[in-house]
Amino acid sequence: MKPAAPDPMSSPSAPDVRAAAQPSPRIAEPRKLSYPAIIASVLAAALSTALVELLTGLQQDRITSLLMLAVAAVMVMIVLTSMLIRKNRHALSLAHVLARQNAQLAQTTRLLNDAQRIGRLGHWMSDETGEFAVWSEELFDIFGLPPASRVSFAKILEIVHPEDVGTYVRARDRSRATGCAFIQELRIIRPDGQVRWLRIEADANDPSEGTQSRFGIVQDITERKLAEIAAEQARLLLMDAIESLTNGFVLFDKDDRFVMSNTTFREMFPSWTVLMRPGVSFSDLMRQAYDHGLIRPKGDRFEEWLERKRAWHLGGSRMIERRELNGRWIQSVDHRISDGGTVCLVTDITAFKTVQAELEQKLAYVEAIRSDLERQKQELEATGAELRAARDAAEAANRAKSDFLAIMSHEIRTPLSGMVGMVDLLRGTSLTGEQKRYTALAKESADLLLEVINDILDFSKLEAGRLQSECIDFDVPNLIQSAVSFMGEKARKRGLDLEVTLAPGLPQYLEGDPTRIRQVLLNLVGNAIKFTEQGSIHVRASHRVRADGAIDLTIEVVDSGIGMSPEIQAQIFDPFVQADTSISRKYGGSGLGLAICKQLCTIMGGSIGVDSELGRGSRFWFEAKCRQGDALVLPAEPVVSAIDRPLEILVAEDSPIIATLIHSLLVKQGFKPTRVVNGAEAVAAVLKKPYDIILMDVQMPEMDGISATRAIRQLPGPEGHVPIIALTANALVGQREAYLAAGMNDYVTKPIQPPLLFAAIRRCALPQYADAPPLQPGSHGQLEMFVS
Amino acid sequence: MTTAADVPLIDHDQLELLQAALDPGELRAMLVQLPSAADQALSAINAALAAGDLPQARKAAHVLKGSASSLGAARLAEVARTIELELMTAGEIEACLPDLADIIVATSDELARWAERA
């Protein structure tokens, strides 16, 4: 009994969201569903009627017919009631749907507002005039205005930033005139003072609608805009930085396409600038540059070159230097950056290269100089070696010369001494007047020759530096007096006065080199005598105490002789110089005397000089550096009295042969020798009787010569003053000091040479033998030469 | 350093000096004394070395040096000087003594001849 279709039952019971969104179809649905129900009811009524007629037709009773009719009526009523109920239920369902749709609408509106709030976006709709607009809620928030039903355009213009008003109005007017869509970004100053960036959009007008009202949105884009501004500022900063680079700067993106270059680069490569369009790839750029003749790879085909170039470009961070076609030097390095792009930095290093080239040139120059110097140095070294060799040769030659001189002098001197001795002996025999004259001349010549030889010997030794200075105590007045009196006879013979003046306060004793002082003094006095025809010679001695306690002993020799010109004075102390060659003919001499004196003074730490005037005489002076001296053990001044008898000579010598030899020599000379064999016997002999001279061997058994001399010097009375001559085989400077310090007066070296022995005896017996002086100044020094 | 062989056996200059200063007889008398004096010195050196007394050996050599040189026996004097001043050990001196003996003999002969001529 349910013939109705299920749709009307099911439709309202299944309302859904889609239905709510499509209200129109939903309202039509109940009407459509009721047709089948009506049809069914009519069919049921018709069927009931037909059935009743059929039954009637079959001759049933009327009651049955009526009953049948009633049943049909009931059935119709049931159907109708059912239809009514069903209609009521549908109305209820519709109300429910409506309420739900209202709720959904409110929610949708709320969501829309929320969406606008979150998106900082509102919509508006202007009226026909454009003077007023209706705003969405959010729009008031965006503008900072209280909500209102409508907002005037004038109000908006008040709020828009004054700088943006003009643009905005023009754009809006244009849009309204054309009906085109309108988008404008502008600033507003809200009533609370905030400045906001807005994006205003208006939809295009649909001309078919024929209305001037517009719909649009407004979005607050302040955050985005500020970020954009910040980004732009950052970009500008970066650009400024890139622009300020003195390097050329080129940027390629990760696909190796050109992005940008800076001005420096464009100025460096103006012809490249036109090729460098953003987006062009590195390879294409190179190809174009090649086509434009900006690149000329040497020796390579272009594609091969490009391949290498690209590998370098992408390899990154490898610096290269190259010379451009325009002659400039370029240094470039390509760096890969984090996004895969490439930054190319290009530097013009032409100036640097120029400086470098100059430096290299200078370096080459310096190198040339250095090698030149090196070569010069080598030459100098070679020269130096040659010079050294030459010097060594010269020194060797000089030594050989000195040796030769020493030997020759020895060879000459020895026989000459013999000759002098022989002449002396000869003069002691009975001679005719003529023979006496000849022997006197022979003696004079021999003495002169001996003097010259002695000078040469001395000088050669001084030159060889073999002479040392002594430092012993000596008696100053005694030294001067004895030297002067040694020359006294010579002066007297020439009719010259020879005077000595000792300055007041002159020390009695000094420590120095009396031998050298005596030698210099004798030389100067000898010269003075030689060059003074008449008048006097004056010897003056003085001293000066230096700050360090040293004492300069100054001795002057002033003569009234021929004098000298300044030219002569200037060279008179040079060796082998005489005032005049005629002088050497007239006066003789080696010309070495003053040179020797000068060297001797130098050795003594002193100096020598002369003041002279031609025809007015000369003043020679010399200084010797001495120290304060002590009194001698005993004054060593020989005391030999002038006597007529033969000299009594004590010979202390342990060697019988030497003793015999000396004894024979002395006897032959007319002396009276006494022999003892050691020092002790010598002392004992002196105590027994006085002797005029003692010849004392230094090295003897029992008591040696030095000890014996000291012992004798300790004796009281005249015995203690007897002159003592050392006999020694060791006449070295140091040892001689010891002998003299012990109180010996003189010495004779072995081998015993008769002339030297006799000379020493004569020196000690000065007053008697002063007129026959074979001894020459400096003979002390010469003696050293005989010690071989 | 000169060796004894470089030095002439006889220093004729010295002998001539002596000759000039002495009578020939006197000189001859002295010259003939030298060989025996030299032998004595040699004996003294030997004895001193045997006794281990090096200074004494040197003294003996020193005396010989003076005598020999003064009488013109130059080479003999040189050997004596070497023994006195240059040889450091007894062994060195001993090694030198045969030479010394030879030179004494040679010197004696030469001096004898010289004395005869003089």
Which domain CATH number covers A363?
Answer: 1.10.287.130
Q: Does residue A421 carry a pLDDT above 80?
A: no
Q: What are the Cα distances from residue B116, in Å, to A676, B9, B25, B27, B28? A: 31, 17, 10, 11, 8
Of the pLDDT bands very low, low, confident and very high (cuts 50, 70, 90), residue A35 is: low
Q: Which amino acid is at B52?
A: G
Question: Is the pLDDT score of A638 beyond 60?
Answer: no
Q: Which residues span the domain enclosing A167?
A: 119-228
A2 found inside a domain: no
pLDDT at residue A22 in the model: 44
Q: Which CATH number belongs to the domain containing residue A545 in this structure?
A: 3.30.565.10
Provide ipTM, 2 decimals: 0.84
DSSP designation for B86: I
State which amino acid sits at residue A234.
A
Minimal Cβ distance to A754: which of B21, B29, B77:
B21
Domains belonging to chain B, first-starting first, are: 9-117 (1.20.120.160)
- Quick: pLDDT tens for A303-349: 888 888 888 888 877 888 888 777 888 888 888 888 888 888 888 88
Q: Most B CBs within 10 Å: which of A752, A761, A787, as the mutation test of the B interface?
A: A752
Lowest mean pLDDT among A231-245, A582-596, A607-621: A582-596
pLDDT at residue B79 is higher than 50: yes
Query: In chain A, which residues have their Cβ closer than 8 Å to the Cβ of B23?
Result: 664, 668
In a domain? residue A551: yes
Mean pLDDT, residues A92-96 taken together: 89
Residue A787 clears pLDDT 70, i.e. is over it? no
> Do A712 and A581 have their domain in common?
no
Angular region, A535: left φ>0, alpha ψ -120 to 50, beta rest: left
Please check whether residues A652 and A768 belong to one and the same domain. yes
The dihedrals phi and psi of A250, each to the nearest 5 degrees, come to: -135, 135
Closest A-chain CA to B18: A754
Closest CA of chain B from A729, distance in Å: 7
CB-based contact A411 B20, cutoff 8 Å: no
Using CA atoms, how far apart are residues B11 and B8, in angstroms rounded to an integer?
Answer: 7
Confidence label for A436 from pLDDT (cuts 50, 70 and 90):
confident
pLDDT surpassing 90 at residue A51 = no
Residues A451 and A568 in one domain: no
pLDDT the model gives residue A695: 93
pLDDT band at A589 (very low <50, low <70, confident <90, very high): low
Nearest CA among B58, B70, B104, B74 for reference residue A653? B70
Contact check, Cβ <8 Å, B37/A701: no
Same domain, A254 and A338: yes
**What's CA A334's distance to the chain center, in Å?**
37
Identify whether residues A504 and A380 lie together within a single domain.
no
Report whether pLDDT(A58) > 70.
no
> What are the chain B neighbours of A655 within 8 Å (beta carbons)?
37, 63, 66-67
Q: Answer whether residue A577 shows pLDDT above 60.
A: no
CATH number at residue A202: 3.30.450.20
Q: Does residue A684 sit within a domain?
A: yes
A750–B69: do the CB atoms touch at under 8 Å?
A: yes
Q: DSSP letter string over A511-578?
A: EE-HHHHHHHHHHHHHHHHHT-SSSEEEEEEEEEE-TTS-EEEEEEEEE-S----HHHHHHTTSTT--
Which of A408, A409, A416, A657 to probe by mutation at the B interface, max B CB count within 10 Å?
A: A657
Nearest to B70 among A421, A654, A661 (CB): A661
Q: How far is B100 from chain A (nearest CA, A)?
A: 19
Answer yes or no: do A658 and B33 touch at CB < 8 A.
no
Interface of A with B in 367-426 (CB under 8 A): 411, 414-415, 417-418, 421-422, 425
CATH number of the domain within which A766 lies: 3.40.50.2300
A137 domain-assigned: yes
Of A583, A600, A628, the residue at which a domain comes to its end is A628
- How far B91 CA lies from chain A's nearest CA (Å)? 25
User: Tens of pLDDT along A359-368?
Assistant: 999 999 999 9
Are A754 and B77 in contact (CB < 8 Å)? no
Q: How far is B7 from chain A, CA to nearest CA, in Å?
A: 11
Q: Which of A707, A727, A722 is nearest to A659 (CA)?
A: A727
Domain stops at, among A71, A89, A115: A115
Average pLDDT of the residues in B48-68: 89
User: What's the DSSP call for residue A325?
Assistant: T
Over residues A260-283, the mean pLDDT reads 88
At A26, the pLDDT band (50, 70, 90 cuts) reads very low
Q: Which of A774, A528, A514, A499 is CA-nearest to residue A627?
A: A514
**A154 shares its domain with A215:** yes
Q: Note whether A619 and A480 are same-domain residues.
A: yes
Q: Would residue A61 count as lying in a domain?
A: yes
Residue A232 is predicted with a pLDDT of 93
- Decide if A235 is inside a domain: no
Token pair, residue A412, equals 């000459």
Q: Mark yes or no for CB contact A668/B22 under 8 Å.
A: yes
B105 to chain A, minimum CA–CA distance in Å?
Answer: 18
Q: Count how many pairs of residues, chain A against chain B, have C-beta atoms within 8 Å.
A: 81
pLDDT band per the 50, 70, 90 thresholds, residue A616: confident
Q: How close A542 gets to chain B, by Cα (Å)?
A: 44
Nearest to A729 among B13, B37, B65 (CB): B65
Is the Cβ pair B72, A751 closer than 8 Å? yes
Residues A11, A83, single domain; the answer is: yes
The span from the CA of A587 to the CA of A494, in Å, is 13
Q: Is residue A438 part of a domain?
A: yes
Q: What whole-number distance in Å separates Cα of residue A373 and Cα of residue A734?
A: 51
What's the whole-number average pLDDT of chain A?
Answer: 80
The residue to which tokens 């001044």 are assigned: A637
Domain count, chain A: 6
In a domain, A414, yes or no: yes
SS3 of A583-643: HHHHHCCCCCHHHHHHHHHHHCCCEEEEEECCCCCEEEEEEEEEEECCCCCCCCCCCCCCC
pLDDT band for A37, please (50, 70, 90 cuts).
Answer: low
Q: Where are the alpha helices (DSSP H) in A714-753?
A: 733-741
Res A783 pLDDT > 60: no
Do residue A658 and residue B66 have CB atoms under 8 angstroms apart? yes
Interface contact B63, partner A, CB < 8 A: yes
Q: Domain check: are A734 and A649 in the same one? A: yes
B44 at interface of A, judged by CB pairs closer than 8 A:
no
**pTM of this structure:** 0.34
Cα distance between residue A616 and residue A200, in whole Å:
134
- Note whether A568 and A690 are same-domain residues: no
Domain boundary among A628, A649, A675: A628
Q: So what's the pLDDT on residue A454?
A: 74
Q: Which residue has the higher pLDDT, A60 or A604?
A: A604
Answer yes or no: do A507 and A446 share one domain. Answer: no
Question: Of A172-181, A708-717, B74-83, which one has max mean pLDDT?
Answer: B74-83
Out of A417, A654, A751, the one facing B69 most closely (by C-beta) is A751
Q: Which of the residue ranges A199-208, A362-371, A543-552, B102-111 would you say has the lowest mean pLDDT?
A: A199-208
Going by pLDDT thresholds of 50, 70 and 90, the confidence category of residue A483 is confident
Tell me which residues of chain A, numbers 753 to 772, contact chain B at a CB-CB cutoff of 8 Å. Answer: 753-755
The yes-or-no verdict on residue A659 having pLDDT over 60 is yes
Of A249, A250, A122, give the one whose Cα is nearest residue A188.
Answer: A122
- Name the least confident of A82-96, A412-426, A710-724, A742-756: A412-426
Nearest Cα of chain B lies from the Cα of A411 at a distance, in angstroms, of 9
Q: What are phi and psi of A726, to 5 degrees?
A: -80, 140
Neighboring chain B residues of A661 at a CB cutoff of 8 Å: 18, 22, 30, 70-71
Residue of B nearest to A422 (CA): B20
Is the CB of A445 inside 8 Å of chain B's CB atoms? no
Verify that A295 and A393 share a domain, yes or no: no
Give me the residues of A, 659-688, that contact B with CB < 8 A: 660-661, 664-665, 668-669
Average pLDDT over every residue of A747-776: 65
What is d(CA A344, CA A514) in angstroms, rounded to the nearest whole number?
Answer: 96
